[in-house]
Chains A and B, each alone.
Chain A
């Protein structure tokens, strides 16, 4: 149990940073997909005019 909390904190913080980044990448991908869909819809609307 020596220095357990230092090791535990290191593991938790390292993984937290990685998971936060994965979450942020997933959110950005989803937002971009929505923007792409909106632009494509606008293109279709312009095409129909």
Chain B
């Protein structure tokens, strides 16, 4: 076995790696899905800016509602997805659930960032301040920090197994913040308005029909965008792990052979 060529078993393993390497392609969002998401985003922008009526009290700045709220609800979806993926990873120790958690966390951070951008820009003209440490804003900010911590842990956390385990625990902790965020405006006195979509009277019961339609379109567009980005990010995660595994097999870490 003094030859420079790898033993057959390694070649078999690499063949298997190569066969698996084609799988992530199937995760890519189809052109049809991307087109539907793009159309939904354009239509939702039209609904937000032109179709929905101008709020009599807040004026045009209230149109931020059609971006801010769908982004926040999509962030809820991401956190829920991370939670279930984390539970399943800790239970089964299957890397695929860790990949789902990693992809959902990054895309969730994106939607969380949109919430954190649009919120203060809406608050300044209406409340007279960019930020206040009330329960809803603070709990949302904490969730955003948990997202950032999750991504930092992924990047700098150590061995892959350790990172996956710690991230799963952090993903579960992040989910615990979700009911606090949602019910904070009910449990405490806050500047932030009460829920207007998920209310005790029913979904959007207190909203005029045209506003409800515009926010529903915004939510549909945000969920479609989330699906496209999540699948793309999941594919990146799988390819990245595949490349790492193949490079390990080939012992190419020094990069000299590339």
**Which residue numbers of A lie inside 8 Å of B, CB to CB?**
1-4, 6-7, 9-11, 13-14, 17-18, 21-22, 25, 28-29, 32-33, 35-36, 38-40, 42-43, 46-47, 49
A36 vs B235: C-alpha distance when bound (angstroms): 13
A21 vs B250: C-alpha distance when bound (angstroms): 32
- In contact, B246 and A39 (Cβ under 8 angstroms): yes
Q: 5 additional contacts, CB 8 Å, given A17-B110, A25-B232?
A: A3-B61, A6-B124, A13-B118, A33-B239, A47-B5
A17 vs B144: C-alpha distance when bound (angstroms): 15
Helix, strand, loop or mixed for chain B's interface? Answer: helix
- In contact, A2 and B60 (Cβ under 8 angstroms): yes
The interface-forming segment of B63-71, B133-141, B162-170, B178-186 is B63-71
Task: Give the chain A neighbours of B4 by CB distance below 8 A.
Answer: 46, 49
Knowing A36-B21, A36-B239, the reply to whether A6 touches B71 (Cβ < 8 A) is: no
Q: Count A/B pairs, Cβ under 8 Å.
A: 99
A21 vs B247: C-alpha distance when bound (angstroms): 27
Knowing A18-B225, A21-B229, the reply to whether A9 touches B258 (Cβ < 8 A) is: no
B245 to chain A: closest residue by CB: A39
Cβ of B26 under 8 Å from chain A? no
Task: Give the chain B neighbours of A25 by CB distance below 8 A.
Answer: 229, 232-233, 236
Task: Give the chain A neighbours of B59 by CB distance below 8 A.
Answer: 2-3
Q: List 26 A-B contacts (CB under 8 A).
A: A2-B60, A2-B61, A3-B61, A4-B60, A6-B61, A6-B121, A6-B122, A10-B64, A10-B117, A13-B117, A14-B71, A14-B114, A17-B113, A18-B110, A18-B114, A18-B225, A25-B233, A28-B236, A28-B240, A29-B235, A33-B239, A35-B243, A36-B243, A39-B247, A40-B18, A43-B18
